[in-house]
Amino acid sequence: MSQCPFGHDRSTLPGDSTPTQPSPRFSQWRQDGALAPLSYRDGHEGLIVTRYDEARAVLTDPRFSQQPQRMPRSDAPIEEGVPAGPLDEEGVLADRSAGVLGLDGPQHLRLRRAVTRRFSVRSARTYRPRIAEIVAEQLDVMIAAGPGADLLALYAEPISIRVHALVLGVPDHLLERYAQDYVHGAPRQQQHDLLREAVAYRGENPGDDVISDLLGNDDLSDAEVEGLLHMLSMSGRDTVAYMISTGTVALLDEPEQYHLLAQDPERVPAAVEEIVRFCTMFLTVFPRTATESVTVGDRIVEAGTTVSVSTVSANRDERRFGDADVLDVLRDARGHLAFGDGLHGCVGQQLARVELDEAFRALVTRLPGLRLVSTGLRQPSPLAHPVATYAARPVIVGW
């Protein structure tokens, strides 16, 4: 915290968090109140919500708009990425028309509904057998590499990109390029060109997948189809990879937690809820703006105020989760906010749950003696994205 010229405390997001150990600033904020002042990148002041009840109240209140999106300032450097580069007119229109996280009301609902069926509980269940096969194949690859393998590069990332491609309907012959462009990053034009190839292919060869669903939806323009596919390719994939790799570190940091799952893999689905609570990736979700004066907790948030909800902090709130800083795979962690909540809550959460369930189940079953050799996750994490999410880091394991 530093002094601003007007005499207020000027707060930025702390830069000393690691994915398993949030900055002590968050617990200090929670002690002081549910909301605290926060500086935004463009220099204006808003609020950060740090307690669970108030976080949930803001996320589920439609009086908070997703626009305009003004990202909070952070002391942590943002991850260096591939420069976005120029994008042709169709691509710009596509991104503009389908950025669901920046839309409200009927406009948002219409686009969200175009994809929700494919990500329902029932649909996620039908993908389970294929996901289990992908997980088993990637575990074979990691085991073949031998102790000292990087679980992020050989297991977590390939699972997340392969499942993403499967559900979206990216054809096999484009998989390698899709992985390259969306995992390692590529100029935006290259990403959009690749999606156009996938769309053209599915136009000729329809399948049981998101692209085919969107192409069969007469209500959507070509730009919206491309935009939705780009948005889906950008969301969820890195979060699944982060969660598998960081969750493994959290479990191996407390080996008895890992052993509890190895002894009884039927505990894994409930443990997944605890792992995503404990390793929550979003320091803050996308900022909201109050469209009218709203009471949050014991405070009035004036119309026009920018509000950032910290899901990391809310999920460590002792008022909601006893011993919140302890990973306890036997606790009932349901109700956590790791997937957000309300109208913008995570579309892909049921699919993510199946991926995480299969990934942790395979690890504890086939490698009950897994141990952590080293990980980059001990360093305060640079942020992966302006929206303030942690970045995944190598996780070197032995067995």
Residues that bind ligand HEM (CB under 6 A): 100-101, 112, 232, 235-236, 239-240, 243, 276, 281-282, 285-286, 311, 338-340, 344, 346-348, 351-352
Q: Residue 8 CB, nearest distance to ligand HEM (Å)?
A: 26
Least CB distance to ligand HEM at residue 309 (A): 8
Write the secondary structure of 355-366 as one string of H (helix), E (strand) and C (coil). HHHHHHHHHHHH
Within 169-287, where are the H helices? 172-179, 188-204, 210-215, 222-234, 237-253, 255-263, 268-278
User: Of all helices (H) and strands (E), which one includes residue 398?
Assistant: strand 395-398
- Nearest approach in angstroms of CB 30 to ligand HEM is 19
- Lay out the sheet containing 395-398: strands in order across: 149-150, 395-398, 371-375
Q: How far apart are CA 203 and CA 191, in angstroms?
A: 18
Q: Which is nearer to ligand HEM, 9 or 133 (CB)?
A: 133
Q: Output 143 or 234, the one with its CB closest to ligand HEM.
A: 234
* Least distance from ligand HEM to the Cβ atom of residue 149, Å: 22
* 155 vs 286, beta carbon nearer ligand HEM: 286
Question: Between 113 and 173, whose beta carbon lies closer to ligand HEM?
Answer: 113
Q: Which residue's CB is nearer to ligand HEM, number 338 or number 392? A: 338
Nearer to ligand HEM, 29 or 282 (CB): 282
Residue in the structure block whose two tokens are 């913008």: 344
Pair 384, 391: CB distance under 8 Å = yes
Q: Give the nearest distance from C-beta 298 to ligand HEM in angstroms.
A: 24
What is the CB-side half-sphere exposure of residue 347 using CA atoms within 13 A?
22
* Closest distance of CB 283 from ligand HEM, Å: 11
Whose CA is closest to 272, among 297, 293, 246? 246
